[in-house]
Chains A and B, each alone.
Chain A
C-alpha cells in the first residue's frame, strides 16, 4: 500500500510545481506594489501575475493535492487498491490539459481576469475551457471516491468506514455540490458571452452563482487539513483521537454548512436584500461550529498524547509533546495561525462589520493566513508523513523539514499582519501600484515593505519544501515497504450509526438548506427584467 504510487506522486508534482511558481510570482507582485522599484512594473504584467498566482494557488495546487491525497487515503485507509485506476489516469490527463490551457491563456495576456473572473470582464474562451477541464477531472475523482467507499461498505457490512476516508468522501460530496455554481456561471453565462452567442451578461446572477462556489471551495481546501488533524496528528504525537464521533460530526457539519453561506461574500452587493444576507450570515455562524469543536477535540487528543508521555498539570502536557516530529509541529503552528485567520474570518462574517474591511488588504491577509497558513502548512505535513510510503525512501533530514515549517509560519505571520493593519487603514485591493507621493498612502509604505520581507521568507520556505522531497540518490531504500498507519480512536467504534457512515441524509439536508438560502436569490434574476451588462473582453488590449 499504496499501489498507485506513481499516479499519486504525479498529482503532487503538478500541485507543488504550480505552487512554487505562484510563490515566486507573489513575491514579484509585492515587490512592484511596494515603494521599492521593481522590473516589469506595469499593470498588464501585474494583473497577468495576479491571475496566474490566484489560479495556481486556488485551483491547481489545491485540486491536484486533494485528488492525490484522496487516492492515497482510499488505498491506505481502506486497505484496498483504488477502483477505476484508468479513470484516475484519464482524469489526471484531463486536468493537466486544462492547466496547460489556462496557463497558456494567461501567459498570452488574454486572460487577466483574476481567479475570481468577475464578468462582464471576460477572457479568451480557452481560459474558461481549461478551468472547466480541471473541474471535470475533479468530478471523476469524486466518483472514484464514492465508488471506493461504496465497495468497501459492500465488502465489509456494518464496519465503520475509516474516518480518514469518511472525511475524504464527505469532501468529495461537498465538492460536487460546490462546483455547480461556478460551472453554471461558466457554461451558461460566460462561455456563451465570450463566443458571441450573447452580447450581454447578467452580472447579479453571475456573482451569485460564483458566491455559491466561492465559500464552499475553501472548505474543500480545508477538509484535508482536518483529516490530518483527526487521523494523523494524534498518532504522530503518540496518542489517540479523543473522539472519533466528533471527527465524523465535524465532516458532516462542514458538508451541511459550507454551501448555503456564500452570500457573505456579497454582503456589500446591491442585488440582494438584508433578509437573505442575514439568513446566510446566520448559517455562516453555524459553519464556525465544526472548527470550534475541532479546536477542543484535537487539543484533547494532544493532551492525551502529552499525558501519556508524562506531562502533568493543566498545561504541562503541551511541553511533553514530541514537537520534533513535523506533523506535531505543523499542527501546533496551524492552530496558532488559526487563531488569527479564524478570528479575522469571524470579523468578515459579522454582517455590518464586513463594511469595515470589505475589499481591503484585511481580506487578502485573512485568506492568505487561514488558507496559505493553517491549511497549506498541513499540506506540507501530510506530504512529509506519507512521502516515505510513496517513494520507499527515507528522508535525509527531519530538522530541515522542521526549519521549512517554521519559516512558513513565520513568513506567513510577517506577511499578513501588515496587511491586516493596512486593511483597517483603508488600503484597498488588487492595486498594481500605489501613488506613494500622497502622504496618506506614503504612510503605508513601511508596512508594505515588511510584508514583502514575509513573502520572501515564504518563497525560501517553498523552495526548501521541494528540496526536502527530492530523494537523495544515496538515501537508503526502505525495507519492508512502508504502508501508513492512521491514528486510532481512544474508544474505537465497533458500530457507527448509519448517518455517520454515509451521506444520504446529509445530501437531503444540503438540498433543503440550499433551496432556502439560494433559491429565491437565484430565482429573482429570472423574474421580470433582470438588468444585463455589456461584455468587456480583456483580450482587446
Chain B
C-alpha cells in the first residue's frame, strides 16, 4: 500500500485521542471546582452506629429528633428513617443559613433527596448519614425515601419546611417543630 498507511491511521486516532483527553479534562476540572469552590461533594461522613440500639442512643432517641439549635449555634435536624415513615415527618429549617441534617435507620436501606436541591444521601443501617447545606429557597420541600425499602416504600415521604431566617424561632430548648410554624 503506497497510499494511506497504517501510520496515518494511527496518527489520526492519536489526534482524536487528544480531543478525548481534552473533553474528559474539562469535566474533571469542573467537578473539582464544584467540590472545592462551591462545596458540592458527595456526602461522605463515615460514622458507625449500631442499628439495633438506635432508639436507645442519646442522639436518635425520639425526644431528640427534629430540628434543634445546638449550644454552639449549629442548626441540626435529626431524622430516623424506618419502614415506612420518617420520624419526624416534617422538619423546619431556616433559609440562607448553614444547616446540618443527620439520618439513620434501625432497619433497612433507605435514602433521601430534598426536592429542588442537591441534598441527597443514602441512609444505610449501621451508619449516620450527614449532609451540610444551605437552603436558598423557602417553602415546603418534598423529601421522599428514594430507595426501595419494602412494600410500603411508595408511602414514605417527609417535608422539609424552609422558612425565612426571621421566621425561624427556636423555643427555649433550642427546638423547632413543624406544628409551631
Touching chains A and B, CB distance < 8 Å: yes
- Cα-based distance from A249 to B42 in the complex (angstroms): 32
Most B CB contacts (10 A, CB to CB) among A269, A273, A274, A281 go to A269
**A436 part of interface (Cβ distance < 8 Å):** no
Given A270-B122, A352-B31, A534:B52 Cβ within 8 A: yes
**B98 part of interface (Cβ distance < 8 Å):** no
Residues of chain A from 390 to 404 with CB closer than 8 A to chain B in the complex: none
Q: A277 contacts which chain B residues (CB < 8 A)?
A: 42, 44
- Contact yes or no, B41 A270, CB < 8 A: no
- Cα-based distance from A120 to B125 in the complex (angstroms): 9
How big is the A interface, by class? 35 or more
Q: Which one, B70-78, B85-93, B146-154, B168-176, is touching chain A? A: B146-154
- Contact yes or no, A285 B24, CB < 8 A: yes
- Contact yes or no, A204 B126, CB < 8 A: yes
**Nearest residue in B to A352 (C-beta to C-beta)?**
B40
- Cα-based distance from A430 to B150 in the complex (angstroms): 10
- Contact yes or no, A273 B44, CB < 8 A: yes
**Nearest residue in A to B30 (C-beta to C-beta)?**
A350
Name the distance in Å between A448's Cβ and chain B's nearest Cβ: 14
- Contact yes or no, A491 B122, CB < 8 A: no
Residues of chain B from 20 to 58 with CB closer than 8 A to chain A in the complex: 20, 23-24, 27-28, 30-31, 34-35, 40-52
- Contact yes or no, A352 B118, CB < 8 A: yes
Q: Which one, A11-19, A287-295, A326-334, is touching chain B? A: A287-295
Q: B43 contacts which chain A residues (CB < 8 A)?
A: 268, 270, 355
Name the distance in Å between A307's Cβ and chain B's nearest Cβ: 12
- Contact yes or no, B42 A433, CB < 8 A: no
- Cα-based distance from A274 to B16 in the complex (angstroms): 32
Given A285-B27, A352-B31, A359-B113, A491:B41 Cβ within 8 A: no
- Cα-based distance from A203 to B110 in the complex (angstroms): 12
Interface size of B by Cβ–Cβ distance < 8 Å? Answer: 66
- Cα-based distance from A274 to B149 in the complex (angstroms): 25
- Cα-based distance from A529 to B42 in the complex (angstroms): 24
- Cα-based distance from A489 to B34 in the complex (angstroms): 44
- Contact yes or no, B51 A534, CB < 8 A: yes
- Contact yes or no, A292 B23, CB < 8 A: yes
Q: B13 contacts which chain A residues (CB < 8 A)?
A: 243, 245-246, 293, 296-297
Name the distance in Å between A430's Cβ and chain B's nearest Cβ: 4
- Contact yes or no, B129 A270, CB < 8 A: yes
Residues of chain A from 18 to 68 with CB closer than 8 A to chain B in the complex: 43-44, 47
Given A43-B154, A269-B122, A355-B118, A536:B108 Cβ within 8 A: yes
Q: A203 contacts which chain B residues (CB < 8 A)?
A: 109, 124-126
Q: A285 contacts which chain B residues (CB < 8 A)?
A: 24, 27-28
Residues of chain A from 308 to 357 with CB closer than 8 A to chain B in the complex: 346, 350-356
Q: B6 contacts which chain A residues (CB < 8 A)?
A: 243, 245, 491
Name the distance in Å between A449's Cβ and chain B's nearest Cβ: 18
- Contact yes or no, B146 A428, CB < 8 A: yes
- Contact yes or no, B118 A293, CB < 8 A: no
- Contact yes or no, B128 A270, CB < 8 A: yes
- Contact yes or no, A428 B113, CB < 8 A: yes
- Cα-based distance from A245 to B17 in the complex (angstroms): 14
Q: A270 contacts which chain B residues (CB < 8 A)?
A: 43-47, 121-124, 127-130
Given A47-B148, A355-B42, A268:B154 Cβ within 8 A: no
Q: B142 contacts which chain A residues (CB < 8 A)?
A: 426, 440
Binding site for A on B (CB under 8 A): 1, 4-6, 9-10, 12-13, 16-17, 19-20, 23-24, 27-28, 30-31, 34-35, 40-52, 83, 107-109, 111, 113, 115-116, 118-130, 142, 144-154
Q: List 26 A-B contacts (CB under 8 A).
A: A43-B151, A118-B109, A120-B107, A120-B109, A121-B108, A121-B150, A204-B127, A207-B124, A242-B9, A243-B13, A270-B43, A277-B44, A282-B28, A292-B19, A296-B13, A300-B12, A350-B27, A351-B34, A352-B42, A353-B34, A353-B40, A355-B40, A355-B119, A434-B154, A530-B126, A534-B107
Ranked nearest first, the 4 interchain pairs of A and B with the lowest CB-CB distance are A531-B126, A359-B146, A428-B146, A533-B125
